[in-house]
Structure formats: structure tokens, C-alpha cells
Amino acid sequence: MQGSEPAAVPFAARLRAVAHHALWDAWIHERDIAVPLGLSATEEPDEVLACLRYVAALGPAFALTADRARRGALVVDAGDLVSRAAE
């Protein structure tokens, strides 16, 4: 199977990225519908953690695409969320 990613990237890693994107996309759109209607959306700690992991990488990637000379650090502290997801 030929893709745009190098052959050195294992298929499971690409599949994991696609799954994270699908979960994040569904999570966002569920809230796009529920919040304006005054409904609460279910928040499962493991899903929130997976979405946070995905978007924590996505945001800086977009920023670097716009300005490759940009330098800095990003810290995401999700300690409480990690412990709740492990329960």
C-alpha cells in the first residue's frame, strides 16, 4: 500500500492518527450541536484525553506551517485527566 507518508512510518501509527482525528472530529461536532441547544455532551475522561493529545499536536503544527522561524515551548498539564482516565 503506497501512501504519501514514508514507508518507515508503521501502518499502526498512521491508523492511530486517523483514529485520533476521527474521535476528535466527532467530539467537536457533537458539541457543535449540543451546546447551542442547551444540551450537555457526555465527557468520558479517556476520550477527552485522546482529543487533547491530538489537538495539542495539531495546533502547534499549524503554527509552524505558518511561520517556520517561530520557536517556543508548549506544555500541556493533564495530570488530573490522566488519573481519571485510568480509573
User: Tens digits of per-residue pLDDT, 37-75?
Assistant: 999 888 888 888 888 888 888 888 888 788 777 777 777
Contact 51, 76 (CB under 8 A): no
pLDDT over 90 at 85, yes or no: no
Contact 76, 56 (CB under 8 A): yes
CA 85/CA 18 separation, integer angstroms: 21
Higher pLDDT, 12 or 67: 67
Domain boundaries, the chain: 11-86
State the pLDDT confidence band at 7, using cuts at 50, 70 and 90.
low
The pLDDT of residue 20: 86
